[in-house]
Structure 1
């Protein structure tokens, strides 16, 4: 590993920051303590400008190189945690019951702070580095919130880069998928408005539980009989809520879930079929069924040329033998995709020794990844603003 000197010297400090953030996780749009620490560190590192409260808790820092230049390169990290109760037994485990950094956003924030320290001290580039600390990535619309707040109007970027940890047990391995790399996602809620009754007299009801259960199975036919076999689509019903007593057929049942996709025509087809199924079930059973389907994540598309540039920067740090541009697309979603709809860029993954999957109460992120990710982020700025 060729960790950049300023970052190598700051490894202990970065680890302390990471552990502190991990112990004090905050849900999306509530990252006030985290944002405060970010702003404080950026100022201490000598970042030229620090802007706060963008989309409530977002932070942006600007660093100017020691050579004249008009180009601007963005680096983005997310800051929010998840509503999960931690079960790692780490000495720095979450002190907030029911909230945990189970996706490693604490490490992403720390890595970008490490890159900021290096760039502010060395300034060996021409132009401006734009450091974006984003709130509320976990399905709450943080990227769209920052865009609505005028992120790229106030802080224009020519290109932008993001990064995510990968608990694959392969420390220092860096990978990227060119083109469509992560799925778009729509979330849905379905309300079946039936008619309740005494459980001993179900003939007097229009049982929403029976209808909802049948609807769950029929929704899967969208994938098996409507979507083309070679087009990726994942439809998951993840919630079913109904009833409150043993002896009462309830009035309503509620379903919720997600659809993941890579093509606009796929989500359009799925949307049409879901509505047709809901309308058909409503007519067949004589009930009302309401569907609310909304886009939450766009498809994340990596620019091919900038993906190559990102991997070249990563190779400077981890070696060519540890990079790959042949990573398979992932059906998970990431709202950095919304920023890539506006500014071209790329999003990579950095492996570490952890092997427990993301969004798991036992998720562990190896702090040894911190200087690696920080160095790659700093290096891509230096390379892209070298002229």
Structure 2
């Protein structure tokens, strides 16, 4: 077993800084939406093949797997990065601003991909591990349902590329770059989308008594839905109900036939998740009846709770502390109400999903966001060190 000082350090990946920044900027300039990552996947596959990886493409859509074996170790490791961008028009001004109108890397997946490619190059050159490394470059993380992770697993990811454990990383605005954050157990929320359509009876604005106004019912229901969490969920449990969309009518003098709202519902516990759905459906039906309209409710079940495994989380935290120092490691990080399809991998294999600080940047999914290039060599060094530690001889 090697001394901890003999594993990859920040200095080992520093020479890759310029190359990785150039690569990240290229990915940022040419972002591709979920399920459209063909050019990104081709670039990733070409880089991996150039460095000596066995490359498999077309898994779960545009997914790419790079496999590297060294020594005679029997253990196997999976590291994952996501590749897709978002339908957001980027704020102009950067030299490497998106060249695809209405599409940008507003969540840092260009950085996630580049950090893992940096580790891929370093590990291909050194091969100081014993076992099998599977680098998973995943499409379609941002879809909310039928995601890249779900499809890759359904197409035999872990049967074709066995992983004794799997790890992933996401950037985190608001914490200093090069800081890493961990939490064991439930970490990121389950997310469901609920649509409520209220069907009424349209009519003339001057004769409301002859109509059944769905818009008035919708306005009242928006307020009533705010009680679902505060009056139906244990105060010690976390949950969020947000009405992000409400549409009805086209003219001031016309009572519309219907009103439609869409809700984002987030939770960290299966029982709470079920209760939220139940109570929202009940409230919509009874509230609508009170206003003389009818409620139609549809539910799209999204990603499950992301639950990190204790042993793998502790291992990942130790690796970060060795690489960065205890003062640059935060554990436990508070739970995050955002969702992540890495949760599906953790239902299949033990592992950990962690965060890396992105500095004082704009928030995720914001038109002014940009990944912090200072993290590129840090993330590459972390993945390299974790690989050598996990697949130690």
Offset at residue 10 of structure 1 (A): 2.0
Q: CA RMSD in A?
A: 1.5
2:292 and 2:332 map into 1 onto residues whose CA distance is 51
User: Could you say which residue in structure 2 is the equivalent of 1:74?
Assistant: 78
Say if 2:376 is the partner of 1:370.
yes
Say if 2:72 is the partner of 1:63.
no
Residue deviations 1:36-70 (CA, integer Å, cap 9, x gap): 111111111211x11111111111111112x1022
Offset at residue 355 of structure 1 (A): 2.7
1:291 and 1:374 map into 2 onto residues whose CA distance is 46
Q: Equivalent residue of 1:70, what SS?
A: coil
Offset at residue 196 of structure 1 (A): 1.3
Offset at residue 29 of structure 1 (A): 0.7
TM-score relative to the length of structure 2: 0.94
Q: Equivalent residue of 2:72, what SS?
A: strand
Q: Equivalent residue of 1:354, what SS?
A: coil
Q: Equivalent residue of 2:348, what SS?
A: coil
Contact 2:191/2:301, CA 8 A, preserved across alignment: yes
Aligned residue pairs total 384
Match for 2:102 among 98, 101, 107? Answer: 98
Contact 2:105/2:370, CA 8 A, preserved across alignment: no
Matches within 5 A, 1:168-179: 168-179=174-185
1:37 and 1:131 map into 2 onto residues whose CA distance is 14
Offset at residue 295 of structure 1 (A): 2.1
User: Could you say which residue in structure 2 is the equivalent of 1:2?
Assistant: 9
User: Could you say which residue in structure 2 is the equivalent of 1:26?
Assistant: 32
Contact 2:9/2:385, CA 8 A, preserved across alignment: no
Say if 2:164 is the partner of 1:158.
yes
Contact 1:57/1:135, CA 8 A, preserved across alignment: yes
Unpaired stretches in structure 2, ≥5 consecutive residues: 1-7
2:263 and 2:369 map into 1 onto residues whose CA distance is 23
TM-score relative to the length of structure 1: 0.95
2:264 and 2:389 map into 1 onto residues whose CA distance is 39
Q: Where does structure 1 differ by over 3 angstroms across 4 or more consecutive aligned residues?
A: none
Q: Equivalent residue of 1:313, what SS?
A: helix
User: Could you say which residue in structure 1 is the equivalent of 2:57?
Assistant: 52
Contact 1:181/1:302, CA 8 A, preserved across alignment: yes
Match for 2:355 among 349, 354, 360? Answer: 349
Offset at residue 145 of structure 1 (A): 1.7
User: Could you say which residue in structure 1 is the equivalent of 2:262?
Assistant: 256
User: Could you say which residue in structure 2 is the equivalent of 1:276?
Assistant: 282
